[in-house]
Structure 1
Amino acid sequence: MELIEFITQKVNFTEQECQEINEAFHTETYNKGALLIKSGSYSDRIFFIEQGLVRIFYYKEDKDITQFFSDQGTFTASLSSFTDGKPEPYGWEVLEPTTVRVIAYKDLQNLFTRIPMLQQVFLYVCFDLINMFSLKLESIQFQTAEQRYTAMMETYPGILLRVPLGHIASYLGITQQTLSVIRGRR
């Protein structure tokens, strides 16, 4: 999904505003395996994933743990960097050829001044992110592994064809063996 298509689903903008927004975001492409953001680095950029898939992960005791996936048609950003000035604790790995639209936080703030209705789009994006974090926390606290798997399949349809099973298992907080058992029951 393209950036302008996404934002105009949320708010009506004039043609001129769409053009200005489109020009403010530049395009970057990444190959599978590239790091969009390195753990421990700073990033003041907001990404819209037009095509592809990004995995947000961390290391715990030398083990690679998947925290989230950011699929096409979504915004994502290192909140700890541009809001708190802290290094990003997660790595952001591109899992397939990916095209993103990118804007620096300060440039987005300037765009908000010129096109105030754009703030409404980002309010929707923030609500979606809060909901995503809430659902992930709820799933860890209250759902069985099989329920987490079912919820993941609803949130990320087709993910089994796009992501190594080890990443899926770590996202669910289970072993690959448990994931195989769950998949075998279906």
Structure 2
Amino acid sequence: MELIKYLSTVAKLSPSEAEHVDRLFSKKECAKNVLLERPGNFSKQVYFIEKGLLRAFYYKEEKDITHTFFDEDSFIVAFESIFFNRAHPYGLEVIEQSSVRAISYAQLDALCNTSPAFNNHRLFVALKVISRLSEKIYSLQFHSAGQRYKDLLNTMPNILLRVPLGHIASYLGITQQTLSVIRAGK
């Protein structure tokens, strides 16, 4: 969904605020497999996905590990570099042709200071990210690989059509062979 249409459903922006927000966010068309950010970056950008799919990933012992997926209507922020001035461990890869909006965090922060509606939504997005991370930790600690797979399909029903199985397996914390066994049992 376009950024302004999305914001009109979640925040009560005036028409002039919406126009101002639209001007502040740059537009990027990203081809499949493009790296928006490399792991270990110091990005100060905030991204919003209007169309498409991205994945956050990192390297562990030279293996590419998927941390999470971001689809339409998602904001992405490099918390470590923005708030703690340290390298953000996750890279961002475009999984399918995507339309992305971007703004520097400094501009976003200034916008939030002048727009209570936008500032309230920033808090909502932050809480949503914390909740999502909490759910992932709980799932990794207490759910079987099969249950994690079912949970992923419930939250992102079209994921199998959009993401290579290797990325799904690494997101679930399992091998591709284990994913094949789980899928065959369904």
TM over 0.5: yes
1:171 matched to which residue of 2? 171
- The answer to whether structure 1 residue 53 and structure 2 residue 48 are counterparts is no
- One-letter amino acid matched to 1:145: A
Deviation at 1:112, TM superposition (A): 1.5
- The answer to whether structure 1 residue 120 and structure 2 residue 116 are counterparts is no
1:106 matched to which residue of 2? 106
1:64 matched to which residue of 2? 64
Answer whether contact 1:38 1:88 (CA < 8 A) is retained.
no
Give the alignment's Cα RMSD to 1 decimal: 1.0
SS at match of 1:98: strand
Structure 2 portions without partners, runs of 5+: none
1:158 matched to which residue of 2? 158
Deviations 1:21-61 (A, max 9, x none): 11111111111111111112210010000011111111111
- One-letter amino acid matched to 2:133: F
Deviation at 1:154, TM superposition (A): 1.3
Write the distance in 2 (CA, Å) between the matches of 1:170 and 1:155: 17
- One-letter amino acid matched to 1:5: K
- One-letter amino acid matched to 1:32: K
2:144 matched to which residue of 1? 144
- The answer to whether structure 1 residue 23 and structure 2 residue 14 are counterparts is no
SS at match of 1:95: strand
TM-score, L = length of structure 2: 0.97
Deviation at 1:128, TM superposition (A): 1.1
Deviation at 1:13, TM superposition (A): 1.5
Deviation at 1:65, TM superposition (A): 0.8
Write the distance in 2 (CA, Å) between the matches of 1:25 and 1:57: 24
2:134 matched to which residue of 1? 134
2:7 matched to which residue of 1? 7
Write the distance in 2 (CA, Å) between the matches of 1:4 and 1:154: 27
Write the distance in 1 (CA, Å) between the matches of 2:13 and 2:90: 34
Answer whether contact 1:56 1:93 (CA < 8 A) is retained.
yes
Answer whether contact 2:40 2:89 (CA < 8 A) is retained.
yes
Write the distance in 1 (CA, Å) between the matches of 2:12 and 2:91: 35
SS at match of 1:117: helix
Deviation at 1:180, TM superposition (A): 0.7
Output aligned runs, 1:34-45, within 5 Å: 34-45=34-45
Deviation at 1:114, TM superposition (A): 2.2
- The answer to whether structure 1 residue 183 and structure 2 residue 176 are counterparts is no
- One-letter amino acid matched to 1:15: P
Deviation at 1:77, TM superposition (A): 1.1
Structure 1 portions without partners, runs of 5+: none
Deviations 1:100-151 (A, max 9, x none): 1111011111112221221111111111111110110000000000100001
Answer whether contact 2:113 2:119 (CA < 8 A) is retained.
no
